Amino acid sequence: MRLLIHALGLEMGGGVRHLSGLQQAVASRSDLSVSWLLREELATHLRVFDHSLIRVPRWVQRTLWGRMLFDIVLWRLYVKVGDFDCLVILANHGILTYRHPSVVLQRNALLFHPLRNALYKGWKRRWKFDVQRSLALLACRSARLVVCPSRVMLDYVSRCISLDGRGRVVPHAFERREYLSPLNSDIAARFDHSSIKVLFVGLGAPHKNLGVVLRGIKLIPREKCIKLYLTIGEEDLTLRQSLLEQARRLTIEDRVVLLGNVGQSEIGELFRTVDVVVNPSIVESFGFVALEAMAFGAALLASDIEPNREICGDAALYFDPADPADLASRLLQLADPYVNAEFRSRALQRYEQVGTDWAVYLDQLMRVCTEAVNYGRD
């Protein structure tokens, strides 16, 4: 099958991890011919061959307006429809005037969740969300099939637009072998092994709900020796300063450690080093961090929201994401060695139940693409 994969909107986070795994699986398949619409820096990072990369101007890659113009009009200058059997859109919205077989992946739960306006203040941010949401809904209408990584995410989308049976669920994959490098020595030296080490992985965006973790740590007596470790990089200067200021106001600055950027290949060792991984998100579509943590047998403390329940089952200890006291209580439970060992065991068992590799993921996605090509035929 000949695929055109549109991923111009991807630049960070779970979307890039998804793209990386998918690209490796595609590269191992001789029966697929794939052309990519990617940001140039991502193409270089993923080592996408020049002959399979469709190059577009940088202003198209960098701005929402540029992408909109490309997806409505300019794509015809770069894409020959007859060269492809199916268009696969990885970034929530893509070419909107494509009248041939297409599949769109919807992974940004914020675009469909009713809490987005409460979480993100300011008219500029809300305006951008509204534009992106409108484009995502248009993509859902024009695509033959809509793919989501979880049943909950598909439900979010279905509440906003009638899919008329066109929705499909294909859970994300994860492979441990890509994450087995030892920790950077500078990062490893920052861990206080006399404390209970609690890890938060990800960005400090409002829907990630890091504030409830900080307030929860504040409620735990100092003699419990609990420290929070954050993977916030040096380039996120504003976020770092904001987090440090929050910690100072709560008088817990000595209990919060900024690790900086941790290489993707070192994530496995990071999860093995800490005692608890906390996933406090208010809104999720899938929860890569939870899946990764379970893959390496981490004791997982997770917000009690539907996506976490779907992915983690009984392998996580859940807390009310609006209640710092509940988080503190559950965290103290996981600090107990016997409880911690039990949840580590559950995590590994759960991963064996729900985890899949990228070759299997690609097979599932290809079945959806084949279905899209044949959709509506008698």
The pair phi, psi for residue 161, each rounded to 5°, is -155, 140
Q: Domain check: are 202 and 343 in the same one?
A: yes
Q: Domain check: are 216 and 150 in the same one?
A: no
Tokens 């060792």 -> residue: 269
Q: Domain check: are 49 and 112 in the same one?
A: yes
What pLDDT score does 376 carry? 61
Range of the domain at 256: 177-354
What pLDDT score does 378 carry? 45
What pLDDT score does 49 carry? 66
Q: Domain check: are 209 and 246 in the same one?
A: yes
What pLDDT score does 212 carry? 95
Q: Domain check: are 188 and 320 in the same one?
A: yes
Q: Domain check: are 208 and 282 in the same one?
A: yes
The pair phi, psi for residue 32, each rounded to 5°, is -115, 140
Q: Domain check: are 215 and 348 in the same one?
A: yes
Read off the pTM: 0.90
CATH code, domain with 296: 3.40.50.2000
CA 150 – CA 152 distance, rounded (Å): 5
What pLDDT score does 100 carry? 87
pLDDT tens sequence across 211-264: 999 999 999 999 999 999 998 766 567 777 888 899 999 999 999 998 888 888
Q: Domain check: are 94 and 75 in the same one?
A: yes
Q: Domain check: are 189 and 259 in the same one?
A: yes
CA 147 – CA 138 distance, rounded (Å): 14
Q: Which of 291, 289, 314, 317 is nearest to 303 (CA)?
A: 317
The pair phi, psi for residue 329, each rounded to 5°, is -65, -45
Q: For the chain, which residues score pLDDT lower than 50?
A: 378
Q: Which of 318, 313, 298 is nearest to 350 (CA)?
A: 313
What pLDDT score does 233 carry? 66
Q: How many domains does the chain have?
A: 2
Q: Domain check: are 272 and 240 in the same one?
A: yes
Q: Domain check: are 38 and 74 in the same one?
A: yes
Q: Domain check: are 188 and 304 in the same one?
A: yes
